[in-house]
């Protein structure tokens, strides 16, 4: 007799974005002619640059000719793309062998699947607030335990508060897998070298593994801030890095990412190279490789012209972020992030809850954002705005907030 994976029953309903959609729909039913301005979702909006379109086009045209046609490729990714990523890291001063790079269809899949190479008895630590995938994927694996008062009993939540610059506190108890996301979704905070150093040293001392989500690293403009965890000495022994072309190059729909499992990575009961071999085994068993068209596009992103042109689109989003940040600051609102990250994290005024502020912003300014409470208990009292969007829409939203929001 078949039975279900009961861990699914402890997952909380995908409440956040469905509730946002529901409240927006109710508002639009009551205000038929209203135009709602959306600064809520972290989805790219701008067209891809010519160099990248040419790369994707090359991938398509290769399929049209029997001499250049390819079917299944290596599950680990196109050798050329792995080599180009390795060179890209080298130019950043980081040594990563192409064999340590596993190309995938994106960072979400990898960040959800990576914990499968670790024992189910590993204790997971996440920051609070947090990108929900890390928690839910571990709950499915059975590492969550009972859900009570907004938290899973067996997960260790590391407070990410204003006084720490929204960077998680070091664990004060035994944990084995630590998820860190920098630049952070939702807070827009970026870890400093010292902050990361402290975590790497803690992980080395306690034989823990850091899973570092660098999906937004291309938004870091400040040269003093680390863009890869491998910029920190010792990280090759204790950290896995996950990254993506989604936000870097507008590949949210194209789908392409990668994960680095260094040969030096070890756990209490594994030798050098073993975790790399296990992730290789997992991918070759359960994944048939990223799309050859997408990978050709990825190679184009990594070309000199591709990096320059993709960088210009990042600059466009970052100008949106600046406009939002400055526009809100002018009103006296307390805002964080938005400097080396595409998210602006704002303290709700007058002690409003995240959802009360959502309703106020929608009703008064007709702007939709994301309540911080949806990212964890400590997101309560905060609100996330996203810099992804057309400039005109962003400008209209700021103008409307400045003119209509009563604070």
Ligand X SMILES: Cc1ncc(COP(=O)(O)O)c(C=O)c1O
Residues that bind ligand X (CB under 6 A): 42, 106-108, 111, 131, 181, 185, 213, 215, 244, 246, 252, 257
Report CA-CA distances (Å) from 160 to 191, 194, 376, 379.
Answer: 11, 16, 10, 9
- Contact (Cβ atoms closer than 8 angstroms) between residue 12 and residue 147: yes
Q: In angstroms, give the least distance from the CB of 317 to ligand X.
A: 13
Q: Which two tokens stand for residue 5?
A: 């994976």
Nearer to ligand X by C-beta: 167 or 267? 167
Nearer to ligand X by C-beta: 244 or 267? 244
Nearer to ligand X by C-beta: 155 or 249? 249
Of 297, 285, 284, which Cα lies nearest the Cα of 102? 284
Q: Is 34 helix (H, G, I), strand (E, B) or coil?
A: coil
Q: Which two tokens stand for residue 373?
A: 């409470």
Q: In angstroms, give the least distance from the CB of 12 to ligand X.
A: 18
d(CA 13, CA 135): 13
Query: What secondary structure does DSSP assign to 83-124, as a single string?
Result: HHHHHHHHHTT----GGGEEEES-HHHHHHHGGGGS-TTPPE
- Contact (Cβ atoms closer than 8 angstroms) between residue 143 and residue 10: no
Nearer to ligand X by C-beta: 43 or 353? 43
Q: In angstroms, give the least distance from the CB of 262 to ligand X.
A: 20
Q: In angstroms, give the least distance from the CB of 270 to ligand X.
A: 26
Closest-approach residue to ligand X (CB): 106
- Contact (Cβ atoms closer than 8 angstroms) between residue 172 and residue 202: no
Q: In angstroms, give the least distance from the CB of 133 to ligand X.
A: 7
Q: In angstroms, give the least distance from the CB of 8 to ligand X.
A: 21
Nearer to ligand X by C-beta: 246 or 267? 246
- Contact (Cβ atoms closer than 8 angstroms) between residue 102 and residue 259: yes
Q: In angstroms, give the least distance from the CB of 168 to ligand X.
A: 14
Nearer to ligand X by C-beta: 324 or 333? 324
- Contact (Cβ atoms closer than 8 angstroms) between residue 396 and residue 364: no
Nearer to ligand X by C-beta: 252 or 270? 252
- Contact (Cβ atoms closer than 8 angstroms) between residue 381 and residue 307: no
Q: In angstroms, give the least distance from the CB of 404 to ligand X.
A: 29
Nearer to ligand X by C-beta: 255 or 395? 255
d(CA 94, CA 226): 11
d(CA 219, CA 311): 9
């Amino acid at each position: 007799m078949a039975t279900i994976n009961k861990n699914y029953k402890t997952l909380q309903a995908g409440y956040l974005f469905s509730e946002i959609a529901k409240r927006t729909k109710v508002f639009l039913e009551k205000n038929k002619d209203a135009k709602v301005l959306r600064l809520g979702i972290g989805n790219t909006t701008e067209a891809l640059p010519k160099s990248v379109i040419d790369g994707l086009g090359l991938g398509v045209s290769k399929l049209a000719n029997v001499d250049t046609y390819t079917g299944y490729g290596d599950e680990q990714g196109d050798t050329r793309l792995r080599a180009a990523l390795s060179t890209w890291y080298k130019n950043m001063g980081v040594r990563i062998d192409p064999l340590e790079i596993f190309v995938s269809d994106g960072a979400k899949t990898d960040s959800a699947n990576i914990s499968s190479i670790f024992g189910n008895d590993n204790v997971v630590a996440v920051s609070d607030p947090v990108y929900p995938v890390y928690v839910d994927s571990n709950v499915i694996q059975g590492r969550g335990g009972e859900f009570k008062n907004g938290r899973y009993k067996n997960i260790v939540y590391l407070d990410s508060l204003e006084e720490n610059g929204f960077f998680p506190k070091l664990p004060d108890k035994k944990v084995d897998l630590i998820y860190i996301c920098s630049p952070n979704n939702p807070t827009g905070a970026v870890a400093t070298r010292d902050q990361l150093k402290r975590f790497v040293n803690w992980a080395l001392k306690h034989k823990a593994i850091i899973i570092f989500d660098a999906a937004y690293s291309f938004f870091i403009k400040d040269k003093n801030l680390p863009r890869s965890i491998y910029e920190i000495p010792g990280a090759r022994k204790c950290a896995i890095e996950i990254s993506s072309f989604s936000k870097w190059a507008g590949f949210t729909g194209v789908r392409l990412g990668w994960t680095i499992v260094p040969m030096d990575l070890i756990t209490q009961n594994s030798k050098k190279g073993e975790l790399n071999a296990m992730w290789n085994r997992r991918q070759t068993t359960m994944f048939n490789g990223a799309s050859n068209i997408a990978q050709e596009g990825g190679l184009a992103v990594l070309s000199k012209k591709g990096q320059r042109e993709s960088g210009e689109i990042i600059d466009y989003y970052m100008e949106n972020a600046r406009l939002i940040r400055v526009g809100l600051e002018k009103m006296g609102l307390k805002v964080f992030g938005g400097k080396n990250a595409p998210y602006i994290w704002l303290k709700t005024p007058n002690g409003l809850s995240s959802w009360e502020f959502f309703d106020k912003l929608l009703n008064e300014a007709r702007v939709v954002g994301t309540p911080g409470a949806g990212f964890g208990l400590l997101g309560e009292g905060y609100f996330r705005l996203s810099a992804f969007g057309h400039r005109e829409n962003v400008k209209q939203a700021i103008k409307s907030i400045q003119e209509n929001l009563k604070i």
